[in-house]
Structure formats: C-alpha cells, structure tokens
Structure 1
C-alpha cells in the first residue's frame, strides 16, 4: 500500500490553525501536528510558526524571509496578537506588513504605513530622470494613462500586482 506524502510543515501549520477556528496557540498547533503527522520535528514546527508569522521579529533570521518584501506569499499565514498565540493573517484586519531594512541595513518586520502621495523630496528628479520605483507608483495609480479600462491585479488578500512576488521573483 502506497503512503501519501506528507505536506510541507507550513501547510501543516496552516491546517492546524484552520482546524482550531483560525486562532490557536503554538502549543495547540504543535500537538495537533504531532497527532496527525507523527515524526515531525518539534523544532521544525516552532521555527515554521515563526517563519509564517508576519509580525514576528525573529522571522527575518530564516532563509524564507531574508530579503525586504511585502507580506503576501505562502509563508505569510499568521499574525501574533500575543506571545504564544496566533491567528490567520488577514491584511484587512491586521494591516499590511513587510520585511524591510532599517536605516542601518538590518532586516526588520513592520506594518506598512501607506502614503497617499509622494513627498516633495521623493519627487525630486535628478538629470531629468525619475526613479523607477516612483514611475512605477505613478503609473500604478494612473493606469488610464496607459490604456482605458486597464486594471491592476489584486489577489484574494487585497495585495496589488505592483512588484507582486512569484516563485521566479517579483513581477509587475
């Protein structure tokens, strides 16, 4: 008899939280996984919970999260309202989070504070060329300049298609 392959541990974590009504504790997640998938390493479970928690400062120490990016990929599943407790991450409820570099170049997690418009300093043009990130932002907000009826892709979590992360890198 062929055995079914085990899902990835991040999928086990997601399943465990969903089974518990989309809110759980690290201990309940661990116990549920060990009951349903015997033999999974306990440290791997705990590390995966950290990796998948958008507002956990330590997540930046894992390879899955070792670069600046918006929190909108497969590892951005959980939000931590208190130590040892998690719930399914919903950007509409918890805000949009990102992994960013601080002024010293150190990776950190933070909630994104959306800017309605670019500051005067950001609009300064050197040698007649605007930075690509500013042009991208301007065009994303003014798609009708490119083509009437053009719309920006938005995924089920409300993340737009500007520098949208894929397995092959960000795309626009």
Structure 2
C-alpha cells in the first residue's frame, strides 16, 4: 500500500465520517457533503480520492471492482443515484458486489474477440501481431511499465491504483502512471490501429489530471499506444506538446526440445 497522508487510511476515515454523522437507515447524503466534511477535517485529501472511496464503499456499484483491494470491510454504503448514498442494510439490500460471476469474463471475451473491429473493419486473426483484447494490453503494460520508459511506475493513492482510474463523468483513464521525474503520465491504449479521434479523449484526461490531481507546476504528459498509428493521428499530434505516440510489437519464438533419450 502507498504511504498515507494521515495516521489512518482514507477508507478508515470514511468510516469515521459516517460514525460522526450518525445516519439513520434510509437517510441519503451526497458526495458533495462528504467532500466538504473531508475538506474541513482532512484538507490534504483530494476530492477525487474521496469520491473514489465512496465508489469503493458502495455495495451495488460495479465500479468498485476496479479497486483490487475492495473487501467485505468496505461494504458500507448503497448508491441510490448519481452522487447520492445511504447506509447499506444487510438482509434488505442486494448482496454486495465483490466479483464478477465466474465464467462471465470468459464469455464476454469470446464475444468481443468474435466482433469485427469497428475502426477499420478488420478482424483479429490467428497469428496476429496484436493483443486480442484491450484489457490484455492494459494488463501487460500495467505490470511492465518500464518497457515504455525507465522509471515509469503505476500511480497509487493509498490502496487505489492507476488502472481504469476514475476521471469524472463515468470516464476512466486506461493507465495513470508517474515518471521518474514525478510527472503524471496518462496512457491511452488502442489494441489495433490508432485514429485521430483519440487525441481529444487523451487531452481531456490530461487536463482533468492537471485540474484534479497535479500540484502547481507538476508536469502532465500523455502517451497513445497502439499496434499501428494512422497518418491522421501522427499529423494531429505533430504540434501537441507533451503527447507522445508509441507502437507495440508482439514476438513469440517457438523452438523444438530435443527428445528425451530412454534406455533401451
């Protein structure tokens, strides 16, 4: 776990907030009220951190699955609407979401693999040099960020990690990292061909990080990673400061193993 700002982690401070409010069953509060409470009592914590922990604590919010540390101790709230919560009532509310139903992920991946790539009308064929799914590319890069540049590491905020990082309005950054100089690095991934429309998405994420996470003067960079760049994308990024383009390559080597010699 990353270092905490205060003596307690934010997930524990959230419990302190609920205890201080002495909410009754059915009473609803807003994320704005929670942010204001933390601003008064723990001002060093950013609003985005508070909202992320509200999601983690919401038993019926599937986005809590994006936080790998979520467990039964986080089953505190029930999300009644956007930015509105009440206390979770065991036995009355649906069972908390802790994981996807076994087999659902495999079925979904099979369906996605069978679909035609809408961007260029091509299918991912056997023997391709690209990842089958964007999640596979995301998972690999999150675990091997140094293959992009030395010193690059996943962003961490206590027990929250920079994978599928919440960026407001239900949008999520594929990977949020930090480089060896302390700058934020926003990674936008495309498993196949990259097109110029991804630039607007990346710039939105970069500016969101500047507004919500970065300290004054802290640099924010962006990287688009895909198997092949379109000329339109290269042209669109030619004069954009702090945006880089990267192409990935897969390589598999197969070698024969000498047969084991058995005694006659």
TM-score, normalised to structure 2, is 0.33
Relative contact order, CA 8 A, sep 6+: which one is greater?
1
Greater share of residues in strand: 2
The higher radius of gyration belongs to 2
